[in-house]
Structure 1
């Protein structure tokens, strides 16, 4: 067995993702995770008190990758309309890549996301906050006309208006002909609305 001193929460989450990919959420167990790590299941429980806590943490880690990948669009120096277009395009690309590149893991995380609605709610809040930051920059630069008190609601509206291109419930549509043109049309519509708000 591996030395438990070197066992970290991050290593456990990496192993859990591997186990979920291999067995799926219905059959994956903490014992399977421990076996991959070469430790006892008690060592895993020292980091995550329950199987539910472990599944929540791995879901949050998976969703965090999207937030981190989008952060550069929030902090970039390009005009806000370009950054918002880039942010929405990157979100669509990330979600499409996850759905098409690793369908087993995507299906597994669909189940886990269903179990962890609070994690999903926090994830969506982070995404909406990122949109709001871009909108605020655009407002300060005179690109967007949304009044400052309406920025949070407008950011949420942008998120919902583009739902078809980031909500995994629509993943089957992401490889259909015409989806890229539909995405571009929605983004163009959103930007026109923001400029005239």
Structure 2
């Protein structure tokens, strides 16, 4: 059902897509869709959550991999950037749709951001525990790293992600942040 909703959103956009369109794509009545999702908003929320969660698995594996925390931090930030850039570049219409849906679903976005900063916190905490980073507040440092790199993962910057030199700019920001975390 969520895949069909994605396809309907891709075809019609978030303004024109309806539950009836989703039902038609599935070959069922709109009542069937409503049995699974009480409202159109609930369906859109589920699709948004699914879309945001897709990148979290790979990022969680990096966060929890063990090994050098600084290298994990670098890998995690590169993977986040690449995941967001891939989403924006491979299917720009759907990316634009999800940007609209994310704006409608603040609680889903908030949970997603909490998951991402939680992953970063695990990396920074491991670095602090092992002496690689000298931070008193790993969660605060993780939030600062996340916000400092927003240009490379926040959808409002998607237009910049294909620009020549953007990978080098990310690397320079991450180098600066890593030096700061080392103290």
The two structures have a TM-score, normalised by structure 1, of: 0.91
Q: Which residue of 2 aligns with 1:112?
A: 101
In structure 2, how many angstroms separate the alpha carbons of the residues matched to 1:153 and 1:140? Answer: 15
1:166 pairs, out of 143, 147, 153, with: 153
Q: Which residue of 2 aligns with 1:74?
A: 63
Q: Which residue of 2 aligns with 1:4?
A: none
Q: Which residue of 1 aligns with 2:46?
A: 57
Deviations 1:98-140 (A, max 9, x none): 0101001000001101111111111111100000001111112
2:141 pairs, out of 154, 159, 162, with: 154
CA-atom RMSD in angstroms: 0.8
Structure 1 position 195 matched with structure 2 position 177 = no
Q: Which residue of 2 aligns with 1:86?
A: 75
Which residues of structure 2 form unaligned runs of 5+?
Answer: none
Q: Is the 8 A contact 2:52 2:112 kept in 1?
A: yes
In structure 1, how many angstroms separate the alpha carbons of the residues matched to 2:65 and 2:29? Answer: 45
The two structures have a TM-score, normalised by structure 2, of: 0.98
Which residues of structure 1 form unaligned runs of 5+?
Answer: 1-11
In structure 1, how many angstroms separate the alpha carbons of the residues matched to 2:71 and 2:58? Answer: 16
How many residues are aligned here? Answer: 183
In structure 2, how many angstroms separate the alpha carbons of the residues matched to 1:141 and 1:167? Answer: 30
Q: CA deviation at 1:78?
A: 2.2
Runs of 4+ displaced beyond 6 Å: none
Structure 1 position 40 matched with structure 2 position 29 = yes
In structure 2, how many angstroms separate the alpha carbons of the residues matched to 1:22 and 1:78? Answer: 44
